[in-house]
Amino acid sequence: MAEACFQIKGTSLTTMSLDLYHYQPQEFSEQLRDKVASAPLFFTGSPLFLNLASFEGEADRELLQDIVKQCRSVGFQLFGCKGASDKVAQVARDAGLIHLPASRPKADKSQAEPAPPTDEAPAASAPQNTAASLPARVIERPVRSGQQIYAEGCDLILLAPVSEGAEVISDGHIHVYSTLRGRALAGVRGNPDARIFCQQLEAELVSINGHFILNDKLREHCWKQAAQIYLQDESIQVAAL
């Protein structure tokens, strides 16, 4: 008998979703570019689907084609569309997107999702318990310019410097027991309680739950000192350790 050519397996693929609220081409384009610029290594080439569940209004062909074009131009691999009405679903297929069946309604928070949550939660929504279940990822060597470390579903602990031009990303907290010169993004898949701790703050960018601040702002507080960064009322706080 011939050897099996393939096997079909169940998998829980982690991807990011783009939850569209409202659409204005210029605004969308600017915000999308800002977003990608905040962590180019992380976002570029990332698979992404479009979630229309919270979209005000009805998506038409032109809008979908526009979004597909914009997302691809900044390097996302937009592959699908979710939360669309039957009519829009057909339009999405025509725009080259696969149609993903809608997940359970958002109101249903009592039941934990079995699969890893893929929706990047809007800032106001309840925290999802993405982190803490897995042990933290520990990195002992420096993270160099051009490198990226992503601790998926857990905290990230770094024992050596993070260089300018490097990205460290975590679904939970990020601890840097050294100098943080690059970009640190904590709680990327929706966790407003995530924090960043570092022994010496010289970061290019820090981000919690999608909110970020840049180097020029960071220089005003705790620069080159031990600091923690957290989110309070949707605004990033930097405090001495």
Partner 1 sequence: MAKIIVITSGKGGVGKTTSSAAISTGLALRGKKTVVIDFDVGLRNLDLIMGCERRVVYDFVNVINKEATLKQALIKDKRTEGLYILPASQTRDKDALTYEGVEAILNELAEDFDFIICDSPAGIEQGAQMALYFAEEAIVVTNPEVSSVRDSDRILGILQSKSRLAEQGKAVKEHLLLTRYNPSRVANAEMLSVEDVEEILAIPLLGVIPESEAVLKASNQGSPVILDTESEAGQAYQDAVSRLLGDEVPHRFLEQVQKGFFKRLLGGK
Residue 16 vs 151, nearer CB to partner 1: 151
Looking at 117, 161, 172, 210, which residue binds partner 1 (CB under 8 A)? 161
Min separation Cβ 58 and partner 1, Å: 47
Min separation Cβ 143 and partner 1, Å: 8
Is 145 a binder of partner 1 (CB under 8 A)? yes
Residue 118 vs 200, nearer CB to partner 1: 200
Looking at 39, 166, 180, 205, which residue binds partner 1 (CB under 8 A)? 166
Dihedral (C-alpha) 132, 135, 141, 145: value to the nearest 10 degrees?
Answer: -40
The Cα–Cα gap between 205 and 192 comes to 17
Beta strands in the chain (DSSP E): 16-19, 47-51, 77-82, 98-100, 137-139, 148-151, 156-158, 167-170, 174-180, 183-186, 196-201, 205-208, 211-214, 227-232, 235-240
Min separation Cβ 13 and partner 1, Å: 24
Q: What would the two tokens of residue 77 be?
A: 């691999």
Provide the terminal-to-terminal Cα distance of the chain, rounded to the nearest Å.
Answer: 66
Q: Which stretch binds partner 1 (CB under 8 A): 64-72, 90-98, 129-137, 138-146?
A: 138-146
Min separation Cβ 160 and partner 1, Å: 7
Is 40 a binder of partner 1 (CB under 8 A)? no
The Cα–Cα gap between 192 and 129 comes to 11
Binding site for partner 1 (CB under 8 A): 141-147, 160-161, 163-166, 179, 181
